[in-house]
Structure 1
């Protein structure tokens, strides 16, 4: 028995020492990043994260970003990105440690990261232990996650304030509960900055090729100003930033009966206020038009939210309200009595899209719009898959010859959206292809010199366009210059590696002549990295 107590004691001491070492390494990585922006709130966190990162990149700041929402992504300083790998597809706030460590290898000027915690206690841990932001963003307070942060909106506001940096700065566009945020900010000695959405003009908003809100742009501009980036430069950086895969979008299809259909996926806006804002913006921009039809997807574990979606039907004034999923009654009963006769119950726990979609499309007139709200899981995913199989509407005018309303360009929605699942390879390839441009590379061979080389050199093929002799000379000089620079850097790196092996100094985080970061393969051992 004494032996087991001894093993337990040794194991506890080992775990404590390992935890201390891990914490010190994490804090060292954090402190190597001068500006850390933590984005929190209920709606629009992923879009704001991308906008802030784009604005800072526009100001020539080396910026790394990470989003969490519809598609968790790690965004490199050159705006390229990749999905965040999650073991077993489960999100955990601990992944922020690896994100910070990976971001620190770029020696960035700023890190913009989305808060992925929902529970108030975890939000505080995310700020005080994992990110330690210098600038906090609290975008808005909406009716969502009331079970974890509620039950009232005032409680939600105070819960979100746990991510405010102590002795730092917090930017917000929340107006109705600004006084609550101010109280919490004063308690943390945090300067609260209000980003006025009206400061963003319609002309500036039209510069985006995808749907966004003035509130989001105003917050990103305020963050950029705090970090010394001019407004026009920040705006251009935001225009160039790639949108989130879950961005609000409008697709146009042709049904099997030949009807034209404009479909807006608003599933990502889970609360009623955000849903209304999204749909009203689409109507104002002409991306969707009336006659307007609404489809509500219900989930058995989101009965309260189902009812919230039914309550906003009078504000939308649709011609038809299609209810799918289970239990459909939870949404239909919440629709006011004067609008309930427009509701069509297509729900069912296991109904496939092939069963309810023909009835849905049959009740819609050609040229009308369909807006999907509520929850995406279940029948919502099947609806998206069914529509994705329909041919796209490429026509510029309607069947009656009328002009089709213009729609702002946006990234297409994937057929299935699951924030906790791996994305299909085909979707990833399409998304990456839309964000990258293939650049042709011309390789210049090293030309031998001397009389012997001239004697054995093969004759050059004759083409219609011959190399310009001056261009060939310049290319050869550039090639020689790069080779000499690489040789000098290799020699320096080899010396530093030898010094590390002797224990005199740690490996330097240097960059080669081509701007690629070089790091050791292991600390204190292993083989030197390859420089070829």
Structure 2
């Protein structure tokens, strides 16, 4: 029995050695590897860089974690990744095999690690990027990445490469990241100006960041922007569904559930306010909660208190509805302003033209609501 265990152990060690050798060989076959990290906008920035670099003539392979994992091949085709079990950072190893088999010049990888130790392992032992990107520092994954923005920034900095190039769009933490990058002999490139015209593509900070990367690769800004205008959005990106319900009311359902942190939700809300055709209607704020996201649960109570005057009603969906309701009532929200969503009939019984701004988390009940509403009407950007 001991001999069998020993043989199995030696076999596994040999397997890991061969895997590491193959990974290193494949890594050396790819001219540029770009590692995209951050709290919000990783998938979008990855896609924008992908589109801009393709427009510039590069052979690009991109792996997106996003709402659902997928990759965009050198041929531009998007393929859904079917996982066996939970997400694992070893998934990135198989991506190198696919990218080299398609003779990619550039591999763009969205970081799929959350815990600080795993982020470090992902960069140093698997990815070994030439270019590191941190989109921003926001309050999310507080249970795993740290309870303060400074701690979250420190965690994210684990993926800044050694002897490489670094980009960020976070104005508050660029000096901190630059300090970390310098200690790793990595050059930090200055922020690119955010222009209002970029808003027609996506949030200006995302577009400016992606454009800055393309600029580094000597791609003309006009060419890169033209490519970005046609980029394919992530399935979980901000979308609005317009439909007419059973009572004849026109309802606009703004799906901001993928943002899932209060700061990002507020940025999206400010963008929505500029759409007069949405903001002039009766307004609902819908919060969808997950049972296992306690820190986010608490964050959205503060979010409601801060912004409740923008809305006529507060809708509660998902898990722990009674607890959440008790907490927001204790915080001063009027009882007649709070509605618990038990089924889809609520949406069909809205009597006035309305806008529903949905935030929190897309998992569970949130996904079911989104699927139901998108099945009723027309989806717009």
Q: Under a length normalisation based on structure 1, what TM-score does the superposition of the two structures give?
A: 0.67
Counterpart in the other structure of 1:326: 319
CA offset at residue 325 of structure 1?
2.9
1:365 counterpart = 2:365 = no
CA offset at residue 204 of structure 1?
3.7
C-alpha contact (below 8 Å) 1:357/1:383 kept by paired residues: no
Hey, which of these two has a bigger chunk of strand by percent? 2
C-alpha contact (below 8 Å) 1:307/1:330 kept by paired residues: no
**SS at the partner of 2:189?**
strand
**SS at the partner of 2:315?**
strand
Mapped partners of 2:329, 2:57: distance in 1? 51
C-alpha contact (below 8 Å) 1:154/1:180 kept by paired residues: no
Counterpart in the other structure of 2:189: 193
Counterpart in the other structure of 1:344: 338
**SS at the partner of 2:320?**
coil
Mapped partners of 2:199, 2:79: distance in 1? 27
Mapped partners of 1:178, 1:335: distance in 2? 39
Mapped partners of 1:336, 1:226: distance in 2? 52
Mapped partners of 1:345, 1:126: distance in 2? 43
Counterpart in the other structure of 1:268: 258
Counterpart in the other structure of 1:98: 94
Counterpart in the other structure of 1:33: 30
Counterpart in the other structure of 2:302: 311
**SS at the partner of 1:321?**
strand
Mapped partners of 2:9, 2:320: distance in 1? 50
CA offset at residue 91 of structure 1?
1.2
Mapped partners of 1:112, 1:164: distance in 2? 14
Of 229, 250, 258, the match for 2:240: 250
Larger radius of gyration: 1
**SS at the partner of 2:233?**
coil
1:283 counterpart = 2:268 = no
Mapped partners of 1:335, 1:104: distance in 2? 56
When residues 287 and 236 of structure 1 are mapped into structure 2, their CA distance, relative to the original with a 3 A threshold, is farther
Mapped partners of 2:123, 2:295: distance in 1? 30
Number of aligned residue pairs? 377
C-alpha contact (below 8 Å) 1:127/1:163 kept by paired residues: yes
When residues 182 and 342 of structure 1 are mapped into structure 2, their CA distance, relative to the original with a 3 A threshold, is farther
Mapped partners of 1:66, 1:107: distance in 2? 15
Mapped partners of 1:337, 1:25: distance in 2? 57
When residues 176 and 341 of structure 1 are mapped into structure 2, their CA distance, relative to the original with a 3 A threshold, is farther
Mapped partners of 1:109, 1:134: distance in 2? 12
* C-alpha RMSD over aligned residues: 2.2
Of 126, 131, 154, the match for 1:158: 154
1:119 counterpart = 2:110 = no
Counterpart in the other structure of 2:207: 217
C-alpha contact (below 8 Å) 2:55/2:226 kept by paired residues: yes
Of 132, 149, 156, the match for 2:145: 149
Of 84, 89, 97, the match for 2:81: 84
**SS at the partner of 1:312?**
helix
Structure 2 gap ranges (5+): none
Mapped partners of 1:389, 1:23: distance in 2? 46
Q: Under a length normalisation based on structure 2, what TM-score does the superposition of the two structures give?
A: 0.92
CA deviations on 1:56-99 (whole Å, 9 max, x unpaired) are 101100001010010211101232111012114x2111111111
Mapped partners of 1:177, 1:51: distance in 2? 22
C-alpha contact (below 8 Å) 1:306/1:330 kept by paired residues: no
Mapped partners of 2:142, 2:298: distance in 1? 14
CA offset at residue 330 of structure 1?
4.4
CA offset at residue 265 of structure 1?
0.5
When residues 134 and 286 of structure 1 are mapped into structure 2, their CA distance, relative to the original with a 3 A threshold, is farther
